[in-house]
Structure 1
Amino acid sequence: MSTKYTLDPAARRRLMATPAGWVATGFGSGLAPKAQGTVGSLAALVPWLLLWPVLSAWGWLVVIVLSFALGVWACDAAGRTIGVDDHRSLVWDEFVGQWIALLPLVAVPGAAWIPLGFGLFRLFDVWKPWPIGWFDRRVKGGMGVMLDDVIAGIFAGIALYAIQHVVLHQFRFLLV
């Protein structure tokens, strides 16, 4: 029987037999044996790196909004398929949250900022300060799966932008 922490083989087969399951698990990255959220966030870097040089900020916003809508549907359907509302194998929310966290890199590019954006997103996603934790506990279904990570991505993006601003404007003499 599946729980929030384990996915029995039958549930795994049911989940991966559907398009919603493939999307919700981040194309299978959420089926990692441990640290599914971290693995999903790492997997999210692949499309980010492919699209980062070609999309504008507006392009990223379109991708994020469409991916959020897709995620609400996919995570809701996948959760119903396995009988667990927010199973840890459902990591599409990590994809969208990670992309939001990295949005400041569209304005201030630099591959050196990617690990910081990744780390900040993981920090806020795991820590779940208010209001992230509040939404995580109260909003259910596909919207609940997606919403807390979107907010964590916003917090991480703001923190990344602030750190970039301080480093690039206050300590620019260190970069010369």
Structure 2
Amino acid sequence: MNTTGKINLTRPHQFFALGFGLGLSPKLPGTVGALAALPFIYAASQMSLIGQVILGLFICIYGVLCCDRTAKELGQKDPQVIVWDEVAGFYIAMIAFPFQWSYLLAAFFLFRAFDILKPYPISWADKKLKGGLGIMMDDILAGIAAWLCVLGFSTLGIL
């Protein structure tokens, strides 16, 4: 964790941007941080599809704002400690699917694979977009790609 600014989890935007502190994990902060999506995914599983989408929009829009501000305060373009983008991506990968182990594991591993490998257009968003939108968009796209795969597996009866 090499930041020029100071981390302060009492500041709400940093608390969320750092995935409730999970982004401070010394090993695999993005993978660990994505787990902060689980309470949102569970809550969403009790909602209508419209409710899930509205919550997802809130997570993404708030994420752009809090990640942008936190990155500026820490003096880095996309600090590893910021994991709200992973929260959003994993959440997106689970929209409309049941809160069941098979779906959770498939969505989680597919999302992380797309996030790490960054095939096009995820790589384009990662390189070209700046600020909070740049931090968030590659993970949003990775979440959408994972969602499409989970949908395909579900449709084929694999999940």
Select the structure of larger CA radius of gyration.
1
TM-score, L = length of structure 1: 0.84
Q: Which residue of 1 aligns with 2:69?
A: 77
Instruction: Output aligned runs, 1:53-92, within 5 Å.
Output: 53-92=45-84
SS of the counterpart of 2:20? coil
Q: Which residue of 2 aligns with 1:41?
A: 34
SS of the counterpart of 2:16? helix
d(CA) in 1 for partners of 2:14, 2:59: 14
SS of the counterpart of 1:23? helix
1:95 corresponds to which letter in structure 2? V
d(CA) in 2 for partners of 1:100, 1:93: 11
d(CA) in 2 for partners of 1:36, 1:119: 15
What's the CA shift for 1:110? 3.7
TM-score, L = length of structure 2: 0.92
Which blocks of at least 5 consecutive residues in structure 1 are unaligned?
Answer: 1-5, 169-174
What's the CA shift for 1:20? 1.3
What's the CA shift for 1:57? 1.1
CA contact (8 A) 1:72 1:143 kept: yes
What value does the CA root-mean-square deviation take over the aligned residues?
Answer: 1.8
Question: Where do 4+ consecutive residues of structure 1 move more than 4 Å?
Answer: none
d(CA) in 2 for partners of 1:53, 1:139: 31
Distance 1:32 1:110, change over 3 A: closer
Q: Which residue of 2 aligns with 1:143?
A: 133
SS of the counterpart of 1:7? coil
Q: Which residue of 2 aligns with 1:24?
A: 17
Provide Cα deviations, 1:11-43, integer angstroms capped at 9, x if missing partner: 343x43422111111111111111011001122
d(CA) in 1 for partners of 2:112, 2:100: 20
Q: Which residue of 2 aligns with 1:160?
A: 150
d(CA) in 2 for partners of 1:87, 1:38: 14
1:156 corresponds to which letter in structure 2? A
d(CA) in 2 for partners of 1:84, 1:17: 20
What's the CA shift for 1:103? 1.4
